[in-house]
Structure 1
Amino acid sequence: MNKLRIVACLAALGLSSASAQEWKPAGDKIMTTWGENLDYKNPHPEYPRPQLERTGNWKNLNGLWKYAIVDQAASAAPSNWDGDILVPFAVESALSGVGKSLSKDQALWYKNEISLPSRWQKGKTLLHFGAVDWRCDVYVNGQHVGQHEGGFDPFSFDISAALKKGEKQEVVIRVWDPTSDGPQPRGKQINNPHGIWYTPVSGIWQTVWAESVPTTYIVDSKQTPDVDKSSLTVSANIAGAKSGDELLVEAFDGKQKIAEAKASADGTINLPLSNVSLWNPDSPKLYDLKLKVVRGGKVVDEAKSYFAMRKITMKADEQGIQRMYLNDEFVFHYGPLDQGWWPDGLHTPPSDEALKFDVVKTKEMGFNMIRKHIKVEPARWYRHCDSIGILVWQDMPSGDLGGNTWDMQPGKVSNGQHDKDRTPESEAIHKKEWKTIMDKLHNFPSIVIWVPFNEAWGQFKTKEITEWTMKYDPSRLVNSASGGNFAYVGHILDIHNYPDAAMPDPRLFGDKFILALGEFGGFGLPLDGHTWQEKDNWGYVSFKNKEELADRYQKAVTDLSKLIPRGLSAAVYTQTTDVEVETNGLMTYDRKVIKIPENTLKKMHSVLYKK
């Protein structure tokens, strides 16, 4: 059949030649059910910013964009495009429809013609990105509107001045990502994936969206609970504020207003609260907020947010051993190491339902905590943890690895002895992104621990970074270096031990630090049809069937429980799911098989929380 006859047949069926060649997943790797059923015309349609909602005037820009991979030295946008890419999935992923790698000598370009209501041009128009890895230059109608560096934090540009009359606007984006050939934070990505190192993630990997705001608008807010004083401290960054403008904050329990207060637009509000419930994993009570900019008695901008009342502190128990107290009660923290990787989307879950699934299953398994391992998730993931009731230990994504030694045995390393000597550029990149990550995640109450470093992976100036982190956010505890190297700073001393449960010596460290087992376990069980590759998969210890796995896991939990009265305050089991060639997950990488039933795990774990 010739081309003309094909087009004629398609026309008779109401199709076009373009639609017959539209998106499909790239490659032949396993897929999640959500990936298999993905609606490529409407990927990740949810409002992406749960801590500052203006749901009336926004537009989701996810979907098919044009892409091209060109020589990195080329400064101009390409005239020819390689095809379509499904945003917000990284170019290396199956769900992008591309599945191509990107080297440090190449640049990735995107192009899309978007349609924005003409009425938006009466105020300001913002172009938002959930995350782009790593350096991103944005052009609107040929004008450069901004550059951003950082692969894990959301950012936006005011594109008002670049808009043309009418609704149609052209957006072009250039991305450069050296992955493991650069010093930037990258987490588990590596150019040559193997072992515990995974496929690179380049370009857009979270939602892209546009928003219409007034000329005076709330950029972001900062909310910090004070349980002891029964109050909430609130401040806001307001663009275009004028003299006399005020910030009004209202708190709600459901539809009932429970408190309100106002201050100057650049001031800080101390919102008194009475008879409020405290947030904890068993009762994750959230309260709603309304933030309003008021001028002359009229509201010029308004956004919704939420908060919870909870505190996390370190103090000695009756034996003189330092413990973590949640709302003045010792709560043993136990959860999985959660990498947040997907076989079809890599860093990006196929859908919000998939994103929530991991959190729901973690809770159903009887865990009360997740260690988010050297990755930052989309904001909606933290919202799920807030509402479901999961404590979060948030890692800083590591980068600039190599060049220093690792000693994971506390007591053997003097302060800073094995810190890496990083370049000023590398240090500045790390510090800037860590500050931004902490700023962007500050309002999520589920986050109770900051973890600046993991296992000497690019670890540098440990004392300085840890002390800065403690000072910058005194409302949380700081685990300076999970697994070492240990500079004996911060609140927590955290060792890694595979496969068995272990703990730091409470006689040496118990009166100075909270004692934690930051990683252990890693029990592997590859299941046919659910692995990233057919052979050469691995776990720290491997088993032949689910029964053997469950028996070994039960022994590990029993051993773990014996360490709690001796002084252990937290433990992290490796891991939530299989990831690429690692088969040591409680679930398979495609999330289609749970290796030990949820109820069985919950019953096993109950011994860890006995008071």
Structure 2
Amino acid sequence: MKRNRTTMMKKTMALACVIATSLSLSYGQQWKPAGDKILTSWGEQLDPAKPHPEYPRPQLKRTGNWQNLNGLWKYKVVPKSQQQAPSAWDGDILVPFAIESALSGVGKRIDQDDALWYQREVTVDKNMRKGRTILHFGAVDWQCDVYVNGKHVGQHEGGFDPFSFDITDVLKKGVKQQLTIRVWDPTSDGPQPRGKQINNPHGIWYTPVSGIWQTVWMESVPQTFIVQTKQTPDVDASTLTVSTQVQGTQEGDKIQLEAYDGAQKIAEGAAEIGAAYNLKLTNPLLWSPDNPKLYDLLVKVVRKGKVIDEVKSYFAMRKISVRKDAKGIQRMYLNDKFVFQYGPLDQGWWPDGLHTAPSDEALKYDVVKTKEMGFNMIRKHIKVEPARWYRHCDSIGVLVWQDMPSGDLGGNIWDMQPGKISNGNHDKTRTAESETIYKKEWKSIMDVLHNFPSIVVWVPFNEAWGQFKTEEITDWTLKYDPSRLVNSASGGNFVYKGHILDIHNYPDAAMPDPNIFGDKFVLALGEFGGLGLPVEGHTWQQKDNWGYQSFKNKEELQRRYEEVIENLSKLIPLGLSAAVYTQTTDVEVETNGLMTYDRKVIKIPEATLKQIHQKLHTIKIAD
């Protein structure tokens, strides 16, 4: 009998393998990368049956029923005026890759007069319908209308923030349900935050990204469930302040908190729903790039002693602050120690996926290589990454300066000369609609990223690109999150607000005058370098690639890089607290990356870069 059971199990497993292989082959036959641009290794190996299969929300992880909806969807591009879902489709598109990308399998441009429709039939079994069924989108650029079984369940505007809809009440009988999505994206013809996208890509401006570009997924939650948590460390008090947003609560419900170091419980407490609770920790280890210590956190909704909902999160104890050194110059301190923050300008673009990394392994790769190169910081440049990228920064140990994606460009007065300070009020006048869009999305971005300890600086504006009401936006940002520093306008019009004065200078290192500004602001070099080296066979186009200063070979590039780092090191004792080198990778026609756009060539070896950078992290200041 046992032998028969074993034989049956083997046959079942073999059949399952055949079915899985068949499904994978079926997907593969329907999909292939579009166009003739270079691909990353991950893009070349992408399995269209399971793109980005990982759980997408590491800071609010619910063990239970969830379903990844990435994969092949039907799509159609129609005139924007068409408000009804199409009855016929143009073909298949691989979600979560934007329609303009190679990995979407489409590679098609759309404009402000177009609407992009998606449709897919999904299976929602009884396990997914025990409580509430929530449909999640990691990011969709830009305006998104969602329909389930033909019924409109909501609209979202914002290209960089996650959103969700409760679809419980529109699910029909049976397991088969129809999802339909309508997207409108004007790219550079609209006022919305868009980062480096432009309808006419050239120079430092890149291919548009429209539609779904992060994971789509469903989960089943109880009738009473945790929507969001907010976790803020206080190193001086050895506490973690936790507040929660819970839906469907009943009188008497409580929040229970448990903190763990591995398997060991190190703290616990109970709080009222919606109230902030200070979880007391004993001698916590502090998080830093040298020791990226993370603690686990369980958050539970308890009703009459019974756990109704439970999510797993994590946190770190770290402090970012500003104070004067012995010379009276403002410095940035991490956990009350001066740490020179040095990192690359990281734009997070991919030749095959555009805004979307071809896989989570690829997403992690850039962070790993940055750390191996001896950087301790990344400036995430006018883009927001999927939540898993920040988790990688948290666990690997890299500080993050987070930019707000810029938009509504043009019309600013910008009098900055290289290495100089642009003083005075040169803010752009934006429409009420434009201002509202910016403020809404900036708040949402700050909310969804708040719990990631690697983020230490918020950057509302870059180089006067759409910069408006700078004093108001900076003051609001400072007040909304006092646990981090604010760099009001990186390289832009400076209005003497926030913690940091940040200039841009290419290609050589420079700094603001410490005798004029050093007693009031942290001094930073927000962009410099841009040393270019096109590598044959690894460029976006065959010719007309560029860098701020270009070289013929790796040896020339390295010698010049060593020179700019030597010059940079001399500025630290004078008052410089941070610098950002342009940039992590080549991006489209820009070839000033430390890696090629396809990540197949590292232009200066990681170990060599780490050795070159060592001097930056060993310089002592008068403290």
> Are positions 1:300 and 2:298 aligned together?
no
Aligned residue in 2 for 1:405: 413
Q: 1:324 aligns with which of 322, 332, 336?
A: 332
Residue 14 of structure 1: how far off its partner (Å) = 8.1
Residue 275 of structure 1: how far off its partner (Å) = 1.6
Residue pair 2:374, 2:609 contacting (<8 A) in 1 also: yes
Residue pair 1:223, 1:232 contacting (<8 A) in 2 also: yes
Which 5+ residue runs of structure 2 have no aligned equivalent?
1-20
Aligned residue in 2 for 1:10: none
- Following the alignment from structure 1 to structure 2, what is the Cα–Cα distance between the partners of residues 139 and 83? 19
- Following the alignment from structure 1 to structure 2, what is the Cα–Cα distance between the partners of residues 19 and 194? 34
- Following the alignment from structure 1 to structure 2, what is the Cα–Cα distance between the partners of residues 494 and 589? 27
Residue 19 of structure 1: how far off its partner (Å) = 6.0
Residue 407 of structure 1: how far off its partner (Å) = 2.3
Residue 121 of structure 1: how far off its partner (Å) = 2.2
Residue 405 of structure 1: how far off its partner (Å) = 1.7
Aligned residue in 1 for 2:473: 465
Aligned residue in 1 for 2:378: 370
Give the partner amino acid of 1:487: V
> Are positions 1:220 and 2:228 aligned together?
yes
Q: 1:252 to 1:549 in 2, by over 3 A?
A: same
TM-score, normalised via structure 1 length: 0.96
> Are positions 1:420 and 2:433 aligned together?
no
Aligned residue in 2 for 1:28: 36
Give the partner amino acid of 2:89: W
| Matched ranges for 1:330-349 at <5 A | 330-349=338-357
- Following the alignment from structure 1 to structure 2, what is the Cα–Cα distance between the partners of residues 549 and 192? 30
Could you report, residue by residue, the CA deviation over 1:516-543 in whole angstroms, capped at 9, with x for unpaired residues?
0000000000010000000000000000
Q: 2:194 aligns with which of 186, 189, 192?
A: 186
- Following the alignment from structure 2 to structure 1, what is the Cα–Cα distance between the partners of residues 67 and 410? 43
Aligned residue in 2 for 1:120: 128
Q: 1:585 aligns with which of 585, 593, 613?
A: 593
Give the partner amino acid of 2:486: V
> Are positions 1:507 and 2:512 aligned together?
no
Give the partner amino acid of 2:209: V
> Are positions 1:488 and 2:488 aligned together?
no
Q: 1:19 to 1:317 in 2, by over 3 A?
A: closer
Could you report, residue by residue, the CA deviation over 1:317-367 in whole angstroms, capped at 9, with x for unpaired residues?
000000000000000000000000000000000000000000000000000
Give the partner amino acid of 1:287: Y
Give the partner amino acid of 1:212: S
Aligned residue in 1 for 2:179: 171
Q: 1:506 to 1:82 in 2, by over 3 A?
A: same
Residue pair 2:348, 2:383 contacting (<8 A) in 1 also: yes
Q: 1:202 aligns with which of 206, 210, 215?
A: 210
Residue 412 of structure 1: how far off its partner (Å) = 6.2
**Cα RMSD (Å) of the superposition?**
1.4
Residue pair 2:197, 2:208 contacting (<8 A) in 1 also: yes
Residue pair 2:320, 2:334 contacting (<8 A) in 1 also: yes
Residue 28 of structure 1: how far off its partner (Å) = 0.2
Residue pair 1:407, 1:484 contacting (<8 A) in 2 also: no
Q: 1:506 to 1:17 in 2, by over 3 A?
A: closer
Q: 1:195 to 1:135 in 2, by over 3 A?
A: same
- Following the alignment from structure 1 to structure 2, what is the Cα–Cα distance between the partners of residues 18 and 598? 40
- Following the alignment from structure 1 to structure 2, what is the Cα–Cα distance between the partners of residues 411 and 32? 39
Could you report, residue by residue, the CA deviation over 1:222-279 in whole angstroms, capped at 9, with x for unpaired residues?
0000000000000110000111100001000000000000111121111000021000
Residue pair 1:500, 1:521 contacting (<8 A) in 2 also: yes
Aligned residue in 2 for 1:270: 278
Q: 1:74 to 1:330 in 2, by over 3 A?
A: same
Give the partner amino acid of 1:125: T
Q: 1:166 to 1:586 in 2, by over 3 A?
A: same
Aligned residue in 1 for 2:137: 129
Aligned residue in 1 for 2:608: 600
Aligned residue in 1 for 2:572: 564
- Following the alignment from structure 1 to structure 2, what is the Cα–Cα distance between the partners of residues 119 and 355? 32
- Following the alignment from structure 2 to structure 1, what is the Cα–Cα distance between the partners of residues 290 and 532? 30
| Matched ranges for 1:422-441 at <5 A | 422-441=430-449
Q: 2:157 aligns with which of 146, 149, 152?
A: 149
- Following the alignment from structure 2 to structure 1, what is the Cα–Cα distance between the partners of residues 602 and 573? 31
Aligned residue in 2 for 1:358: 366
Q: 1:113 to 1:587 in 2, by over 3 A?
A: same
> Are positions 1:446 and 2:454 aligned together?
yes
* Count of aligned residue pairs for this structure pair: 598
Q: 1:252 to 1:340 in 2, by over 3 A?
A: same
| Matched ranges for 1:249-268 at <5 A | 249-268=257-276
Q: 1:522 to 1:17 in 2, by over 3 A?
A: closer
| Matched ranges for 1:106-117 at <5 A | 106-117=114-125
Residue 21 of structure 1: how far off its partner (Å) = 4.2
Question: Which moved further from structure 2: 400-409 or 581-590?
Answer: 400-409
Residue 311 of structure 1: how far off its partner (Å) = 0.6
> Are positions 1:575 and 2:583 aligned together?
yes
Residue 120 of structure 1: how far off its partner (Å) = 2.6
TM-score, normalised via structure 2 length: 0.95
Aligned residue in 1 for 2:531: 523
- Following the alignment from structure 1 to structure 2, what is the Cα–Cα distance between the partners of residues 471 and 326? 20
Residue pair 1:540, 1:584 contacting (<8 A) in 2 also: yes
Q: 1:234 aligns with which of 238, 242, 248?
A: 242
- Following the alignment from structure 2 to structure 1, what is the Cα–Cα distance between the partners of residues 274 and 615? 49
- Following the alignment from structure 1 to structure 2, what is the Cα–Cα distance between the partners of residues 293 and 545? 60
Residue pair 1:118, 1:165 contacting (<8 A) in 2 also: no
Give the partner amino acid of 2:344: P
> Are positions 1:96 and 2:104 aligned together?
yes
Residue pair 1:408, 1:496 contacting (<8 A) in 2 also: no
Residue 408 of structure 1: how far off its partner (Å) = 2.5
What secondary structure, in the 3-state scheme, does the structure 2 residue paired with 1:439 have?
Answer: helix
- Following the alignment from structure 2 to structure 1, what is the Cα–Cα distance between the partners of residues 307 and 389? 31
Q: 1:250 to 1:14 in 2, by over 3 A?
A: closer
